[in-house]
Amino acid sequence: MPWQATTLIVDARCVEALSDLLLEGGALSVDVSDAAAGTSTERPLFAEPGSAPASNWAVNRLVALFNEGADVAEIIPSALREARLPATTPYGIDRVNDQDWVRLTQSQFTPVKISSRLWVVPTWHEVVDAAAINIRLDPGLAFGTGTHPTTRLCLRWLDEHLNRGDTVIDYGCGSGILAIAAMKLGAASATGVDIDEQALLAARRNALQNQAQVTFYAAEEELSGLTAPAHVVVANILANPLTVLAPLLAQLTLRGGHVVLSGILAPQADEVRAAYAPWFDMQAAGTTLADEEWVALTGRRL
């Protein structure tokens, strides 16, 4: 079934009100992005759990999606009037043809070479290097495909530093990729934890696909009764949740063990490092790892 998409360029003052009015008028979804994206004046905005909401861009591109039968020529002028915008505000209407969204999404994920011996290979692709350690992955609705810099940083640390026989906890496991990689790299045991039931379902499927013995738990369960502290605790989340989780992740790390933290933008590194300093030596455990604008921090449990 085809859809209709309409695009408007509006300023920050009215973008939220207009978005709400379009949804009330029958829009299936509304996407707001920087109208200057891809130019020298593009301005990144970041928002995380626990932080103040980011403001809109000065000039916004608003794209609303409608059913094929929606009277967009009536809905848009009505929304503009209620938002007190000029009736002459330009907008376009484009036809969006139906596609095989599963195949389109899968085409975006190809095998990723993490190191000379470690690959992440989507389940719908052939293995590139049969002699390598291959993680076969179908992320489903979960984060963690191996393509994002934060995932690559954690995988590289595990590849270089994990000792055979180590125990591992992957907190915020998403697709389960890090826990599965740990088992394939020689860990004695691995435990994954997440708040999202869909992520846990995907992680369990991926562990089965890789014949990896990984135990997965929902984050609301009492972890102290489920698992002993581990030699390595890895958490690829975001800076603000990582800061809040510092006491818990310290509790889950054996003395002398390591914590690996990612999902951190370079300007956020000092704040996260300071949050873990009461429990970890954040200097002796290794240098800060970087990939594009993202970093991973490591620490040794005191």
Per-domain residue ranges for the chain?
Answer: 3-98, 103-301
Q: What's the pLDDT score for residue 101?
A: 47
- Residue 259 near residue 286, CB atoms below 8 Å: no
φ, ψ (nearest 5 deg) of residue 181: -60, -40
Q: What residues in the chain have per-residue pLDDT under 70?
A: 1, 42-55, 98-108, 139-146, 221-227, 284-288
Q: CATH: 3.40.50.2300, 3.30.365.10, 3.30.450.40, 3.30.70.120. Which one for 3-98?
A: 3.30.70.120
pLDDT at 110: 77
Query: Across 55-144, where does the E strand assignment appear?
Result: 59-67, 91-96, 112-113, 118-122, 133-137
188 contact partners, CB below 8 Å, separation of at least 6: 165, 166, 167
The CATH code of domain 103-301 reads 3.40.50.150
> In a 3-state reduction of DSSP, which class is residue 234?
strand
d(CA 196, CA 200): 6
Whether the CB-CB separation of 137 and 145 falls below 8 Å is answered with yes
Beta bridge partners of 297: 261
The amino acid that residue 129 corresponds to is D
pTM score, whole prediction: 0.70
E strands present in 49-183:
59-67, 91-96, 112-113, 118-122, 133-137, 167-171
* Residue (of 282, 264, 272) closest to 244 by Cα position: 272
Q: What CA dihedral angle connects 146, 245, 182 and 262, to 10 degrees?
A: 30
SS3 110: coil
H-helix or E-strand containing 217? strand 214-218
C-beta separation of 184 from 120 below 8 A: no
Residue 276: name the closest of 245, 246, 240 by CA. Answer: 246
